[in-house]
Amino acid sequence: MARGNYAPQEVTEAEVVQVRTRDQYEGQRRAFNYVVRVNTIDADTGEPVLVNEYRSVASNSPLSTETVLNRITELLESGLG
């Protein structure tokens, strides 16, 4: 996984907006792809970093919305998203 080049950031909003399955999107590698709309701010300055950006979390098994949002938050706040 590639590392982001973002300053430390804080997720202010995150919402799962779509769940894609391999049955619907044949080229998809994993069984489930959760599309998340996210907003973040710079943890030091409070300035917006990501505004209505879309990121995804892929999995071979179904995940709860809470799990998806926790994973995307961890990735973005650690600079890996």
pLDDT digits (tens, 9 = 90+) for 19-39: 999 999 989 999 999 999 999
At 4, the pLDDT band (50, 70, 90 cuts) reads low
Confidence of residue 6 (pLDDT cuts 50, 70, 90): low
For 40-69, write each residue's pLDDT tens digit: 999 889 999 999 999 999 999 999 999 999
- Own/partner long-range contacts of 23-31 (Cβ < 8 Å, ≥24 apart): 28/58, 29/58, 30/58, 30/59, 30/60, 31/59, 31/60, 31/61
Mean pLDDT across the chain, nearest whole number? Answer: 90
Output the pTM of the full model: 0.85
